[in-house]
Amino acid sequence: MHLGANTPDRASQSRGFPVAGTADEAMTTTYDMSDPERREAGLARALETLRAGGVVAMPTETVYGLAANATDGRAVARIYEIKGRPQFNPLIVHVPSREAAERIAVFDQLATTLAAAFWPGPLTLVLPKRADSDIAELATAGLDTVAIRVPAHPVAQALLRALGKPLAAPSANRSGKVSPTTAAHVAADLGSDIGVILDGGPAVVGLESTIVASDGRTLTLLRSGGVSREDIEIVAGRALVAHDGAVRAPGMLASHYAPSSALRLDATEARPGEALIAFGGAPAAGAETAVATRNLSPSGDLGEAASRLFGALRELDGVAPTIAVMPIPDTGLGAAINDRLRRAAAPRS
Ligand code: TXA
Ligand code: MG
């Protein structure tokens, strides 16, 4: 399969793509990356946006991605906000090379073999996250594993190499809509919320990456996609295990993320012996007696709160039998924060 971006065919399709038709989209600029001058300007603008903690739409060979610096929790929170996801699903982390991936995830022999055969390309590997990786907790939704892939699209490659940071990127569509395979799809769906769309032509694969988890012995197929099961099985020399419903992705079990401490939600006061997760500037009654406190956002910013949530749960887990959690507004990102908190508070099975 040819994964190059600048075929004559593609260049003519993306040239003359209309920019920002409606008032809502007035701030969105689409850059035709097959035009050398626009490519330069588009890369510069995308880098500036990403370095400032913003999000951009980037082409990949599978589908267009909504990308943010994966090491910046606030930037990752913006992805969930724009997609309108009611939950924090873990995101795929994109890197330019296997060497970059090895700084983030622990590669066993099977994973190394698959990466050598299919990267760059439409295969995502779910592997243990390295303890010293700087990936934001929100990008992996607090999991100890990370989904990682090396995209083949030259524009994604150029962006990743110039930025020097991994990019978290789900498909660039609102939650519940189909994945975009052209810049025009992205503009129609998300144009009002993003400033930069890099137009790399129609996605040549056109469906999402195949997701495979490895624990060193067993390969589990978590999602079918751009690389066929058969091709993976030939390279791996073993059958892929169908997903067994065991908990790997969130939302599959209510209590999946449960910390060992109990959670008491919508707490307006901290009781003796409790740890406290605070939100906003007004202290909870009894806050000064809390065993330990983390404020998700003293200014009441839900993006900041989302970026701190998983870290706070980790840090407070086990320091007290119960963690009291102050009320979080249920609007915008608050809905996903509350979903996560309800799961963490659900009775264990
Ligand atoms: O082709 C693709 O993979 C596109 C392009 C943009 O790269 N990205 C994409 O991302 O489809 P998204 O967010 O729409 O799908 C990511 C999937 C989710 O179903 C999520 O549950 C799963 O990957 N995932 C991410 N991290 C995981 C983890 N640590 N364990 C299990 N599943 C994970
Ligand atoms: Mg998607």
| Tokens 């419903």 found at | 245
Rounded to the nearest angstrom, the distance between the alpha carbon of 319 and the centre of ligand 2 is 36
| Tokens representing residue 170 in the block | 């789900």
Instruction: Give the model's confidence band at 335: pLDDT under 50 very low, under 70 low, under 90 confident, else very high.
Output: confident
> Bigger pLDDT: 177 or 102?
102
pTM of the model: 0.84
Helix axis angle, 109-118 to 229-236, nearest 10°? 130
pLDDT of residue 262: 93
* Beta pairing partners, 53: none
The 10s digit of each residue's pLDDT in 277-293 is: 999 999 899 999 999 99
Looking at residue 251, the DSSP 8-state letter turns out to be: T
The Cα–Cα gap between 247 and 251 comes to 9
Strands (E), the chain: 29-32, 56-58, 65-69, 92-94, 123-128, 145-149, 167-168, 196-199, 210-214, 219-223, 241-242, 262-264, 275-278, 293-295, 322-325
pLDDT of residue 31: 98
pLDDT of residue 349: 52
Q: Is-contact 257 340, C-beta < 8 A? A: yes
| Tokens 């590669």 found at | 107
The 10s digit of each residue's pLDDT in 111-134 is: 999 999 999 999 999 999 999 999
pLDDT of residue 4: 39
The Cα–Cα gap between 221 and 124 comes to 10
Instruction: Give the model's confidence band at 244: pLDDT under 50 very low, under 70 low, under 90 confident, else very high.
Output: low
* Beta pairing partners, 66: 57
Rounded to the nearest angstrom, the distance between the alpha carbon of 176 and the centre of ligand 2 is 8
Looking at residue 347, the DSSP 8-state letter turns out to be: P
Closest atom of ligand 1 to 211 CA is 23
Instruction: Give the model's confidence band at 9: pLDDT under 50 very low, under 70 low, under 90 confident, else very high.
Output: very low
Ligand 1 mutation target, pool 133, 160, 171, 248, most atoms within 8 A of CB: 171
The Cα–Cα gap between 161 and 96 comes to 6
The Cα–Cα gap between 241 and 243 comes to 6
Query: What are the distances in angstroms from CA 196 to CA 27, 190, 219, 220, 300?
Result: 8, 10, 37, 36, 28
Query: Using a 6 Å cutoff on CB, does residue 249 contact ligand 1?
Result: yes
3-state secondary structure of 136: coil
The 10s digit of each residue's pLDDT in 25-58 is: 458 999 999 999 999 999 999 999 999 999 999 9
Ligand 1 mutation target, pool 211, 221, 243, 256, most atoms within 8 A of CB: 211
- Residues with Cβ within 8 Å of 296's Cβ and at least 6 positions away in sequence, in order, are 277, 278, 279, 304, 305, 308, 309, 312, 328, 337
Q: Is-contact 261 318, C-beta < 8 A? A: yes
Q: Is-contact 263 323, C-beta < 8 A? A: yes
Closest atom of ligand 1 to 207 CA is 1
Q: Is the pLDDT of residue 273 over 50?
A: yes
Measured on CA atoms in the order 51, 53, 54, 57, is the torsion positive or negative?
A: positive
At residue 221, what is the residue type?
A: L
Ligand closest to 214 (CA) is 1
